[in-house]
């Protein structure tokens, strides 16, 4: 049964991407990037993440204005694990700026990744975008299932949106047990760095469970300071503390400079990924 479900799920994902890519190709009447894009979709369905990322990069070079290979590549990077901050930012930018099924897919994948990281606020924002955009029935079912679970555990996030709650109530027949297990499962294989320094995870979990629900999301940067701290802990263990202290000191200056805005549904945040500030550690071989 599990093997049959995996084949079915892979087929749904592949067909989703191929349909999106096909629409984009017909709209342009220029199929030059189609072979690489089709191969990328096949590799994605097979779970061959590094190869999929390479083919998406090739498709982006062939058709740089096409968003679908960029979205597929970003999702593949999330699946591959490791340094995912840039992939999340890319998906969230597509989600908040789009109005189609591709944007709905980007929002769902970003929302699920945020949820798996313990970031309920940003998971709610992205899952709500995915539900409102709709997309294909299978994608809508997954998005609404994810959003319902977020609101079940954090009902305060949707307390002022009665229409959204009513919409989710009508979606319950769509959520089969198999779909719920797939959508709500934790990340399949945590990276080694994710367990390298538990104190960082404990502090972030304490903050997200007890402090942020009371004070709200106040960070003006993306990723948020708690997610930045968590990423730094995964990559650099004890050095996460000076890295996040540096982030907190820099935040007002980054906001004032306003160099890399990321438009959200309710506010504007500014991109400030860890990769821009830990190069000196990686250059020395620190993981």
Beta strands 221-222; 261-263: pairing state: unpaired
Of the candidates 222, 232, 228, the one whose C-alpha atom is nearest the C-alpha of residue 268 is 222
**pLDDT greater than 60 at residue 195:** no
Residue 112 predicted with pLDDT over 90: yes
Per-residue pLDDT, 39: 77
Quick: pLDDT tens for 22-54.
434 433 333 444 566 677 777 777 777 888 888
The structure tokens 């679908």 sit at 68
- Per-residue HEC secondary structure of 92-138 comes to HHHHHHCCCHHHHHHHHHHHHHHHHCCCHHHHHHHHHHHHHHCCCHH
pLDDT at 143: 94
Pair of tokens at residue 103 = 């944007």
Q: What is the pLDDT of residue 58?
A: 86
pLDDT confidence of residue 264: 55
Question: Residue 263 pairs with which residues in a beta bridge?
Answer: 268
Percentage of the chain exceeding pLDDT 90: 19
Question: What's the whole-number mean pLDDT along residues 140-161?
Answer: 89
Give the C-alpha separation, 286 to 13, whole Å. 37
pLDDT, position 237: 85
* DSSP for 221-284, written as a single string: EES-HHHHHHHHHHHHGGGHHHHHHHHHHHHHHHHHH--SEEE-SS-EEEE--GGGT-HHHHHT
Beta partners for residue 268, in sequence order:
263
> For the segment 260-286, what is each residue's pLDDT rounded down to a tens digit?
887 655 577 888 888 888 877 765 444
Give the chain's count of helices (H) and strands (E). 15, 3
Mean pLDDT of 9-29: 46
The pLDDT, as a whole number, for residue 131 is 93
> Which range in 147-151, 193-197, 234-238 is most confidently predicted, on average pLDDT?
147-151
Radius of gyration of the chain (CA): 19
- Return the closest-CA partner of residue 48 out of 76, 21, 84, 20: 76
In eight-state DSSP terms, residue 207 is: I
Q: Which of 101-105, 184-188, 220-224 has the highest mean pLDDT?
A: 101-105
63-93 pLDDT, tens digit per residue, is 888 888 889 889 988 888 756 788 888 899 8
Query: CB–CB of 60/89 below 8 Å?
Result: no
């Amino acid at each position: 049964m599990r093997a049959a479900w995996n084949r079915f799920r892979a087929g749904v994902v592949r067909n989703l991407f191929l349909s999106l890519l096909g629409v984009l190709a017909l709209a342009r009447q220029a199929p030059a990037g189609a072979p690489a894009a089709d191969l990328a979709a096949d590799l994605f369905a097979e779970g061959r993440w590094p190869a999929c990322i390479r083919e998406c990069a090739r498709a982006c070079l062939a058709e740089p204005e096409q968003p679908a290979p960029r979205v597929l590549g970003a999702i593949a990077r999330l699946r591959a694990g490791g340094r995912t901050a840039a992939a999340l930012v890319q998906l969230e930018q597509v989600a908040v700026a789009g109005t189609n099924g591709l944007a709905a897919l980007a929002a769902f994948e970003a929302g699920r990744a945020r949820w798996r990281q313990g970031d309920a606020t940003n998971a709610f924002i992205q899952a709500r975008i995915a539900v409102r955009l709709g997309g294909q029935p299978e994608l809508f079912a997954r998005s609404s299932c994810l959003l319902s679970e977020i609101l079940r555990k954090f009902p305060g996030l949707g307390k002022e949106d009665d229409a959204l709650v009513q919409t989710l109530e009508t979606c319950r027949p769509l959520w089969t047990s198999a779909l719920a297990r797939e959508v709500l499962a934790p990340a399949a294989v945590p990276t080694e760095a994710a367990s390298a320094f538990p104190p960082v995870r404990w502090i972030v979990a304490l903050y997200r469970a007890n402090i942020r629900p009371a004070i709200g999301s106040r960070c003006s940067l993306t990723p948020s300071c708690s997610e930045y701290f968590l990423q730094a802990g995964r990559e650099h263990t004890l050095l996460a503390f000076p890295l996040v202290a540096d982030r907190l000191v820099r935040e007002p200056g980054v906001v004032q400079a306003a160099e890399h805005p990321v438009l959200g549904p309710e506010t504007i945040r500014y991109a400030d990924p860890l990769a821009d500030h830990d190069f000196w550690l990686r250059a020395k071989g620190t993981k």
